[in-house]
C-alpha cells in the first residue's frame, strides 16, 4: 500500500486488510510506502497539522516494524504520477512488482535517505518572539519592570520610554497578520510599529503612566491585542472617574486619540 499524502482512504484500506486476515495463521501484513512517508512515521518532529494527524492515524493502525520502502520504479501508485487508462489497466497496479512473489530475502532494501528539505517543508513553523527585560527610570533611579518587551516594525524605527530605547526587529509572519488586523481600525494610513509586553501572569502589573512619548504620533489610534491571562486596563484622567476595561484572551481594544495623552 502507498501512504501518499494525496490519499484520503489509506487507513480504511489498512483496516479492511487486517479484518480480512483475522483468524488466519501465518499471515503477515506489510505496508509498502514511499521513502518520504516512511521517514515521517517514526520521526518525532512537530509536523504541520495535516501531516501530523495523518502520521498519528498510521501509527495507531499499523505496526511500524511492518512498514517497508518500495523503490519509485516499483511503486504501483501510478495515478499520482499521471498515466493513461490503458496503461493503468495493463500495469502492475493490479499485480504488484514481480519480486513480491519471491522470498522476503529477495525484496529490495533501500539505503536511500530523505533530503532535509523534505522535512523542512512539513515541519510546524513557530514564530519566536525575542523579548528583553527592561527597567524604568524614576527620580534618577532604575527599577525593574515586571514584564518583558519587544518591538517590531519598519526598519530603523526606535521607541524611547522611561529611559529605555527599543530598536525595531523585522516583522515576523504572525505579527504581519496582527498588523493587518490593527489597520482595519484606522480610517487613514497604517501602523508601522508593534510593541509587545509579556507579563508572567495576570497578577503582574505596572503603575499608572502616560503613553505620551515623543516617538508616538499623538494623532494616531492605539490598538491593543490581548492573549493569555485576563488583565484589567484602568484609564485615569483629572476630573474624570477612572474606567476599568477587562482585557480577555483574544480581545481587541481600539483607542482613538487623544488616548495617548491621558
What the block records as the C-alpha cell of 73 is 520504479
Least-confidence region, from 6-10, 38-42, 224-228: 6-10
Q: Report pLDDT for 126.
A: 46
> Residues forming the annotated binding site for substrate?
139-141, 159-161
CA distance 76 to 88: 9
> Residues forming the annotated binding site?
139-141, 159-161, 197, 199, 209
3-state SS assignment for residue 152: strand
pLDDT tens sequence across 56-72: 777 776 676 777 777 76
What the block records as the C-alpha cell of 11 is 487507513
Q: Report pLDDT for 171.
A: 85
Q: Report pLDDT for 141.
A: 65
Indicate the pLDDT class of residue 100, thresholds 50, 70 and 90: confident
What the block records as the C-alpha cell of 233 is 486596563
pLDDT tens sequence across 165-222: 778 888 888 888 889 999 998 888 888 889 888 887 767 666 666 666 666 777 888 8
3-state SS assignment for residue 166: strand
Pairing status of strand 252-255 against strand 132-138: unpaired
pTM of the model: 0.45
What the block records as the C-alpha cell of 102 is 519471491
Average pLDDT over residues 240-244: 84
CA distance 10 to 13: 5
Pairing status of strand 240-247 against strand 193-199: unpaired
> Residues forming the annotated binding site for 2-oxoglutarate?
197, 199, 209
Amino acid at each position: 500500500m502507498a501512504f501518499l499524502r494525496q490519499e484520503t482512504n489509506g487507513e480504511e484500506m489498512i483496516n479492511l486488510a487486517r479484518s480480512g486476515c483475522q483468524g488466519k495463521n501465518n499471515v503477515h501484513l506489510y505496508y509498502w510506502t514511499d521513502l518520504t512517508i516512511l521517514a515521517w512515521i517514526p520521526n518525532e518532529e512537530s509536523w504541520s497539522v495535516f501531516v501530523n494527524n495523518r502520521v498519528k492515524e498510521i501509527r495507531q493502525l499499523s505496526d511500524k516494524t511492518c512498514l517497508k520502502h518500495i523503490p519509485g520504479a516499483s511503486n504501483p501508485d501510478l495515478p499520482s504520477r499521471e498515466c493513461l487508462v490503458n496503461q493503468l489497466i495493463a500495469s502492475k497496479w493490479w499485480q504488484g512488482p514481480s519480486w513480491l512473489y519471491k522470498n522476503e530475502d529477495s525484496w529490495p532494501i533501500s539505503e536511500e535517505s530523505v533530503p532535509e528539505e523534505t522535512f523542512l517543508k512539513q515541519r510546524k513553523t513557530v514564530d519566536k518572539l525575542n523579548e528583553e527585560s527592561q527597567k524604568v527610570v524614576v527620580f534618577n533611579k532604575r527599577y525593574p519592570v515586571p514584564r518583558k518587551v519587544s518591538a517590531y516594525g519598519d526598519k530603523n524605527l526606535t521607541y524611547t520610554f522611561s529611559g529605555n530605547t527599543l530598536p525595531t526587529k523585522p516583522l515576523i509572519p504572525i505579527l504581519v497578520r496582527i498588523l493587518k488586523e490593527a489597520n482595519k481600525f484606522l480610517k487613514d494610513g497604517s501602523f508601522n510599529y508593534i510593541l509587545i509586553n509579556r507579563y508572567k501572569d495576570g497578577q503582574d502589573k505596572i503603575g499608572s503612566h502616560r503613553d505620551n512619548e515623543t516617538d508616538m504620533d499623538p494623532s494616531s489610534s492605539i490598538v491593543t491585542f490581548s492573549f493569555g491571562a485576563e488583565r484589567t486596563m484602568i484609564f485615569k484622567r483629572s476630573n474624570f472617574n477612572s474606567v476599568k476595561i477587562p482585557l480577555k484572551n483574544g480581545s481587541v481594544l481600539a483607542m482613538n486619540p487623544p488616548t495617548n495623552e491621558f
